Homo-oligomer: A and B are copies of this chain.
Amino acid sequence: MLLINIFEIIGTIAFAISGALVGIEKKLDIFGVTFLAITTAIGGGVFRDIIVGRTPPTAFNNPIYCVISIISAILTYLFYKKIHKFKNIILISDAIGLGIFTAVGANVAFFCSMNKPFIVICTGLVTGIGGGMLRDVFVKDIPFVFKKEIYAVASILGAISMYFLYDYLSNILSMYACFFVTFIIRILSIKYNLNLPVLDDKNIGFKSDEI
């Protein structure tokens, strides 16, 4: 179980840093920066727990991830000028976070005996991308998962592989499989700059609010 916990901590730090960076750029005060870091790191898990009815959400019962987020946010705030040196480390850590949060989230569905494929995908995906979406909504950006590279798709494919492997592997092993599938797809999409298609020809003379 140790390695999963280490991955979770790495992911929490990476997600919190991404939240703090966005907050600093949007000129939030130190509370806003910290709050956004926490939201990014634990938001997906909180929403997942609300969906499956686990109240209060784990992140509120066990403040460790919140404390990690606060420390990450303050360090990001203090060393903001130097953080671009760690650009690649942060990118890789974020991919680790996406992978491990998807695995942990999908596992919650099995844990709650909601082992239908659709719920496994939903809990995995919500845990993986929910925090980042909340961060973007708070600072008035369109959630970047709607626009940028193969992010959510990596999470969905990871959760699907976990669902199919769960019958053949142990709980922990299927979580690792989910983690690696998500992580590898995400890293490949960054390396080769893969993106999903966007419809660009729009000269059709009407807008949705005319409908």
- The residues of A with any CB-CB pair to B shorter than 8 Å are 18, 21-33, 35-36, 46, 50-53, 55-57, 60-61, 63, 66, 77, 80-81, 84, 87, 90-91, 114, 116, 118-119, 122, 133, 137-148, 152-153, 195-202, 204-211
Contact = CB atoms under 8 A, between A and B. Distances in A.
A198 to B, nearest CB: 5
Contacts of A23: 146
B29 A146 contact: yes
A116 B66 CA distance: 14
Given A29-B196, A144-B209, A210-B87, A56 B61 contact: no
Contacts of A137: 137-138
Nearest to A116: B61
Contacts of A87: 206, 210-211
A139 B119 CA distance: 25
> Which residue of A29, A84, A116, A148 has the most chain B CB atoms within 10 A of its CB atom?
A29
Contact of A140 (B52, B80, B90, B142): B142
A60 B211 contact: no
Contact of A146 (B32, B195, B210): B32
B146 A138 contact: yes
Given A56-B52, A146-B36, A207 B25 contact: yes
A208 B21 contact: yes
6 contacts: A27-B198, A30-B197, A81-B201, A140-B140, A140-B141, A148-B209
B119 A56 contact: yes
B60 A56 contact: no
B198 A29 contact: yes
Contacts of A145: 31-32, 35
B195 A29 contact: yes
A13 B18 CA distance: 36
Please list the 3 inter-chain residue pairs (A to B) with the smallest Cβ-Cβ separation, ordered nearest first: A32-B146, A53-B55, A29-B196
